[in-house]
Amino acid sequence: MIGERRHEAQIRLSVAQEPEAILRLDKIQVPFSWGICRRGGREQTDDGKSGATFHRSEAMPVGGVRKDGFFSHPPYIGGVGYVWAQFGPITLPEEPCVFRVWVGLMDGGDPSDGASFVVEVLDEQSKLHRLAEKLGVQKEWRELVADLTEFAGKKVWLRLIADVGLNDNSTADWASWGEPRIELKTPKRILSVF
């Protein structure tokens, strides 16, 4: 063919998978209540005399890396145990999803032996399901993931627990929950052309 021109172009494609956040607990006003449970005792609301806390917090530093979320501390005055927070009710999507959060002990405290971070779900029949647990330590955010697939499409209450741990040592258990969110289990795909 006369006058035919041929052009070649090189195209690079990149496919990335990115989790789709459905709900960020610290950014949307999801109702929550909190309380304590001392070793061998019953869960109760805090009377303000235990040293425990659970509240929203911004820019919490763990290992120098700052994240928004929730700050908590287990009880230590009058006996040790755990602090709990209950969020909901939350109606989960029909699609399988997970609860994902970064856990660690906020910078600045005395040496700590760590704190136990627990994720539970309370279902509509008032049955409690323990889904995930991880030891949180100083100077490092650790990812904690709880699979919510069995509760797809259902109304649940999400429970977060920070416990002083097996040694019952509450020193600097500045339990930080970074970027707590519910995400679709199957990440959405993002196609980039460049």
- pLDDT tens digits along 3-47: 666 656 455 554 545 566 788 998 887 889 999 999 999 999 999
The third-level CATH classification (topology) of the domain covering 22-193 is Jelly Rolls (2.60.120)
The counts of H helices and E strands in the chain are 0, 14
Name which residue leads in pLDDT, 86 or 193: 86
pLDDT of residue 1: 52
First to last CA, the chain: 32
Q: What is the pLDDT of residues 48-104, one digit of tens each?
A: 999 999 999 999 999 999 999 999 999 999 999 999 999 999 999 999 999 999 999
pLDDT of residue 86: 97
Predicted confidence band at 193 (pLDDT cuts at 50, 70, 90)? low
pLDDT of residue 45: 95
pLDDT of residue 183: 95
User: Mind giving me the DSSP string for 67-126?
Assistant: EEEEEEE---SSS-EEEEEEEEEEE--SS-EEEEEEEEEPTTSSP---EEEEEEEE-TT-
CB 98 within 8 A of CB 121: no
The pTM (predicted TM-score) of the whole model is: 0.86
What would you report as the CA-atom Rg of the chain, rounded to the nearest whole angstrom?
21
Q: What is the pLDDT of residues 90-140, one digit of tens each?
A: 999 999 999 999 999 999 989 999 999 999 999 999 999 999 999 999 999
pLDDT of residue 14: 47
CB 68 within 8 A of CB 60: yes
Q: How many residues are recorded in the chain?
A: 194
Domains of the chain, residue spans: 22-193
